[in-house]
Amino acid sequence: MAKWPWIERKFNFEYPPTKFPDILERFRGTPARLEERVAGLPMAVLTRRDDKGWSIQENVGHLLETERLPQQRVEEVLAGESVMCAADMTNRKTNEADHNAKHIEVLLNAFRREREKLVARLEQLDESDWGKSALHPRLEQPMRIVDIVLFHSEHDDYHLARIGELIRAFA
């Protein structure tokens, strides 16, 4: 994971907006994959950090902390904004939240609820909305609504892979 940090990743969004339903299914499935990945892990494993960064619980908390970002970006695109809001690349909320002091079930349930709300909103979109776009401020490229969902699915998978790395190291 450390060999290719999230901030250094580039994205190529050259598929049709009609791929939206497929990508939405991937996005919808993250809570189940996350719950399955951490099921039965003891607190000592869930809260242990390595020299690369956050613990498993902190990764889960980070996903929860960032869940409102795709919702905000979708609403900005639908409102006709030309540039989407920027993410807090310092991850201040995650770093200050003390997710290791919480119960994993609380984090998982909160993430599932937030994701279900966002998926429900995305399901309400008209097919003509899927290709609407605005500029992503860090990547400096346009992102359509379908791309926003893929981008955040990639972010989910990045953290799921990091959780897997921690499980292999500590479990």
Q: How far apart are CA 168 and CA 165, in angstroms?
A: 5
**pLDDT value for 130:** 98
Q: Which residues of the chain have pLDDT under 50?
A: 1-2
Query: Which pLDDT score, from 0 to 100, does residue 2 have?
Result: 47
What pLDDT does residue 6 have?
A: 84
pLDDT at 1: 46
Instruction: Give the chain's domains with CATH numbers.
Output: 23-170 (1.20.120.450)
| 85/87 Cα distance (integer angstroms) | 7
Q: Please name the amino acid found at residue 106.
A: V
**Confidence at residue 9, expressed as pLDDT on a 0 to 100 scale:** 83
Measuring CA to CA, which residue among 115, 63, 116 is closest to residue 93?
Answer: 63
What per-residue confidence (pLDDT) applies to 150? Answer: 97
